[in-house]
Amino acid sequence: MTLDQIAKKVRASALAYPEAWEDFPWGESVVKVRKKVFVFLGHPDDPKVAFGLSVKLPESKDFALTLPYTEPTGYGLGKAGWVSATFTKGMKPELDLLLEWVDESYRAVAPKTLVKRLDGTP
C-alpha cells in the first residue's frame, strides 16, 4: 500500500466517526468532532512530506514517541498529549496503528455522549 493510499484510508476512517467533518484552518486539513480538532492531516501541498498527522494520545503517547517518525506536536500541544508523525516517500507505516491512534484521539476529544455511541451505549 502506498503512502497516498494510507493517507486516504486514515482520512476516510477519521471522517466516519460520529459528527466528524473536515475543515481547512491555516490551509491545513483537519478533522473535527463538533468544533474540536481530533486529527491534523497536514498541508496537502507540502512537497517534503508525503503524509503526516497529529493526534491526541493520552494513553499511548509514551509508546508512540519511541517510534523514529514521531515527535511531540509543536505549539505547546505536545504537553497536552499530542503526537505528530511524519512520513516521507518510501516509508511504510502500519495502517492499523495509525487507525488506532485516530480512534484514541477521537475518544479523547469527542464529547462523552458521542464516545458512548461508539461503544453501543445509548
Q: Is the model more confident about 65 or about 44?
A: 65
DSSP 3-state of 98: helix
Go through 85-113 and write b for each residue having 16 or more CB atoms within 10 A of its CB, e for each that does not: bbbeeeeebeeeebeebbbbbbbbbbeee
Instruction: Go through the domains of the chain in sequence order and give each one's CATH number.
Output: 3-113 (3.90.1150.30)
What pLDDT digit, counting tens, does each position of 64-91 carry? 999 999 999 988 888 889 999 999 888 8
According to the model, what pLDDT value does residue 103 have? 98
Whether the pLDDT of residue 95 is over 70: the answer is: yes
According to the model, what pLDDT value does residue 17 have? 97
According to the model, what pLDDT value does residue 78 have? 84
